[in-house]
Amino acid sequence: MRTLIIYVSIHHKNTEKIAKVIGDVLNARLVKPWAVKPEEILDYDLVGFGSGIYWWRHHWALLKLVDDLPKMEGKKAFIFSTAGMNIPWYNHRALRKKLKEKGFQIVGEFSCRGWDTNGWLAKIGGINRGHPNEKDLERARRFAEKLKENE
Ligand SMILES: Cc1cc2nc3c(=O)[nH]c(=O)nc-3n(C[C@H](O)[C@H](O)[C@H](O)COP(=O)(O)O)c2cc1C
- Per-run averaged pLDDT (10 residues), the chain, 151 residues: 97 98 98 95 96 98 96 95 98 98 98 97 94 98 93 67
Q: What is the CA radius of gyration of the chain?
A: 15
Burial-class residue 53 by CB neighbours within 10 Å (0-12, 13-18, 19+): buried
Q: What is the dihedral of CA 25, 26, 29, 33, to 10 degrees?
A: -100
Structure confidence at residue 151 (pLDDT): 67
**Cα distances (angstroms) measured from residue 61 to each of 57, 114, 146:** 11, 20, 28
Residue 139 CB less than 6 A away from ligand 1: no
pLDDT at 149: 87
- Are 110 and 146 in contact, with CB atoms under 8 Å apart? no
For residue 120, how far is its CA from the centre of ligand 1 (angstroms)? 13
Instruction: Please name which of 111, 89, 43, 100 lies closest in space to residue 66, comparing C-alpha atoms.
Output: 100
Distance, CA 49 to ligand 1 centroid (Å)? 16
Q: Which CATH superfamily hosts domain 3-149?
A: Flavodoxin domain (3.40.50.360)
